[in-house]
Amino acid sequence: MKKIAVIGAGAAGMMAAVSAAQNGAKVTIYEKNEKAGKKIYITGKGRCNVTNNTDTEKFFNNVCSNPKFLYSSVYSFDHDAVMDFFESNGCKLKVERGERVFPVSDHSSDIIATLVKVLKNLGVGIRYGANVTSIYYEDDKVKNITVNKKEKIDVDAVIVATGGLSYPSTGSNGDGYKFARYAGHSIIDTRPSLVPFNIKENWCSDLQGLSLKNVSLRLFDESLPDKKKNKPIYDGFGEMLFTHFGISGPLVLSASTKALQNKEYKVKIDLKPALTIEQLNKRLIREFEENNKKEFRNSLSSLYPSKLIPVIVELSDIDPYKKTSEVSKSEREKLIDITKNLTMTVTSTRSFNEAIVTKGGVNVKEINPSTMESNFRKGLFFAGEVLDLDAYTGGFNLQIAWSTGHLAGVSAACE
């Protein structure tokens, strides 16, 4: 019976252990925390967006880094397989807007409990407080691991599922990169992804707590050559949120996948994407005619959220006490431009403490995509966020963890 060590009891690690045990291996998970699934517990605001119920072909359109590398793993264990795994083991799921899949209970703890139960039934051991400090090789093949710097354990294979650097409070401190480098692998530069933006403009913090729905967001890199800097590097539609430091929400998190951590960008929000400039102009003319005796500052309630109106008035440079009948054409045009291009300066992304995933990681060109095994060391496998793989929000990153973990487990056991 093959002895397999899985480093990390997160989504990828637990799924790897399940599939390895199902294929006849003797599996032990080594987890340095006091319990399993600490990051799973906080995903989806504690609800756990398990996967996304989209067609597998469309799934790859939502992967930001190295989607082709995932073909083997995803096609062998796709979203249907993930949903069937949890439901057949007693955890009922539901599909919400955007095809996002959650446990019916809305409790991420149920996902963790299901995995732990299956692991126990398969005879997988989980050792908590067990920090794997090194992996030793003999003739470029895995020989043993060292736990807590003193205990040597002989193994036939190791699956590194340590996560990346996001949410370090859950134990993600880059251990997996250390193991990979020691084995000869290169690491693609890491940075926070699916993370909020810090904004320079002071008025942004005045809008703290304001949520905008059905808006479009474009992200511009003005350091690019003239021909490219006016073309957005991200263009999306959805929801966003103003915070005390800047902006967040699904739309912003998705845009952050295109942004470097400490670099300035411009964000432009279209508050009325369903209206053309001409249609918005006609709407303003109509609104101003119907409210021709009102002051400008009191005539905008049907166009903008109340909290946003003072900012719009200030940015427009229109006298707030001017009667709407006195607003000039050029003033109206400026108001239209602000509405269609509410502009903010991104000074940086937030840190790994607030990042949902890590962009970058172990170079996938050095990993066999059909097995998840290292090209350099026999018996060394990688799965999940430790690899240079990331996707947009909506359950896609967890699907990457389930799929790569499953394939690594099967491969390690059956090789």
| pLDDT tens-place string over residues 27-64 | 999 999 999 999 999 998 899 999 999 999 999 999 99
Quick one: pLDDT at residue 171? 87
Determine the Cα–Cα distance for residues 28 and 260; give it in Å rounded to an integer: 38
Check residue 322 and give its pLDDT.
95
From 312, 333, 350, the end of a domain falls on 350
Amino acid code (one letter) for 181: R
**Do 378 and 320 sit in the same domain of this protein?**
no
DSSP state letter for 356 = S
235 and 180, same domain (yes or no): no
The whole-number average pLDDT for the span 307-317 is 97
Phi, psi (degrees; rounded to nearest 5) at 332: -65, -40
For residue 327, give Cα distances in angstroms to 228, 303, 316, 321: 36, 16, 11, 11
Q: Is the pLDDT of residue 141 over 90?
A: yes
Helices (H), 256-360: 277-290, 309-316, 329-340
Per-residue confidence (pLDDT) for residue 20, from 0 to 100 = 98
Asked if 236 and 303 sit in the same domain, the reply is yes
Decide which of 327, 350, 373 is a domain's last residue.
350
**304 in the same domain as 261:** yes
Spatial separation of the C-alpha atoms in residues 16 and 21, rounded to whole Å: 9
Q: What is the CATH number of the domain that holds 403?
A: 3.50.50.60
Residues 311 and 394: their CA atoms lie apart, in Å, by: 32
Q: What residues contact 361, with CB distance under 8 A and at least 6 apart?
A: 164, 176, 177, 187, 188, 190, 385, 386, 387, 388, 389
pLDDT at 301: 94
What's at 22, amino acid-wise? Q
How far is Cα of residue 138 from the mean position of the Cα atoms in its chain? 37
The rounded mean pLDDT for the chain is 96
Looking at the chain, how many residues does it have?
415
Residue 186: closest CA among 376, 411, 403, 391:
376
Q: Which two tokens stand for residue 46?
A: 């504690």
pLDDT computed for residue 35 by the predictor: 96
Given a contact cutoff of 8 angstroms between Cβ atoms, the answer to whether 4 and 155 are in contact is yes
Assess whether 123 and 153 both reside in one domain. yes
Let me know whether 48 and 172 are in one domain. Answer: yes
Domain stops at, among 295, 317, 350? 350
Same domain? For 235 and 370 the reply is no
Q: Provide the 3-class DSSP secondary structure of residue 403.
A: helix
Residues 120 and 9 grouped into a single domain: yes
Task: Please state, in angstroms and rounded to a whole number, the distance separating the CA atoms of residues 277 and 349.
Answer: 31
pLDDT at residue number 226: 87
3-state secondary structure of 117: helix
Q: Are residues 275 and 138 in the same domain?
A: no
Measured CA to CA, the distance from residue 135 to residue 145 in angstroms comes to 4
Number of domains the chain is built from: 2
**Closest Cα to residue 207, out of 241, 171, 255?**
241
Shared domain check, 207 and 327 = yes
Residue 32 sits in the same domain as residue 175: yes
Q: What is the per-residue pLDDT across 209-230, written as a single tens digit (0 to 9) for each?
A: 999 999 999 999 999 998 888 9
Can you give the residue range of the structural domain that contains 386? 3-192+358-414
Which tokens is 330 given?
């050029």
Q: What CA–CA distances, in Å, run from 2 to 189, 325, 365?
A: 34, 82, 27
Q: Is the per-residue pLDDT at 415 higher than 90?
A: no
275-310 per-position pLDDT tens digit: 999 999 999 999 999 998 999 999 999 999 999 999
Of 17-26, 95-104, 156-165, 225-234, the one with minimum mean pLDDT is 225-234
192: closest CA among 171, 167, 209?
A: 167
Identify whether the C-beta of residue 194 lies closer than 8 Å to the C-beta of residue 254.
yes
Confidence of residue 389 (pLDDT cuts 50, 70, 90): very high
pLDDT at residue number 55: 95
Q: Select from 29, 225, 60 the least CA-distant residue to 145.
A: 29
Tokens in use for 394?
A: 């909506």
CA distance 81 to 101: 13
Residue percentage of the chain with pLDDT more than 70 = 100
* Spatial contact of 240 and 247, defined as CB atoms under 8 Å apart: yes
Distance CA 13, CA 24 (A): 17
What does pTM read for this prediction?
A: 0.94
Identify whether residues 163 and 78 lie together within a single domain: yes
Who's near 150: CB < 8 A, 6+ residues apart? none
Using the predicted structure, report yes or no on whether residue 414 has a pLDDT greater than 90.
yes
pLDDT at 100: 96
